[in-house]
Amino acid sequence: MKKKSRTKLVHEGDSVAEVEVELIESDESWSPYLSLEDAYKLDDVREALRKGDLDTAMRFARLFTLTPVTLARQPVNKSLRSEPR
């Protein structure tokens, strides 16, 4: 049985959390898998983000706020396109 550290992303609303977990690799058919403790940690971070409880989420993860680059896709103005010559 080997353990590998991995970063899992948890996305809720406009927040993303980077959570460090260990994947357990074994000869079992469900490999790789998370420990029960790491699975609960991911659930706790997701629940904290849903509630807006950033202090709790920060105990287990690095937090980021997503900022949209555009709010909506704008229609293409064909008059601004250069015409082939």
- Domain coordinates in residue numbering, the chain: 2-65
What does the pLDDT profile of the chain (85 residues) look like in tens digits? 899 999 999 999 999 999 999 999 988 888 899 999 999 999 999 999 999 999 999 999 999 999 988 766 666 666 666 666 5
Vertex 49: Cα angle to 56 and 13 (nearest 5): 160
Q: What is the pLDDT of residue 45?
A: 97
Q: How many secondary structure helices (H) and strands (E) does the chain include? A: 2, 4
Assessment of whether the complete model's pTM goes beyond 0.85:
no
Distance CA 61, CA 7 (A): 10
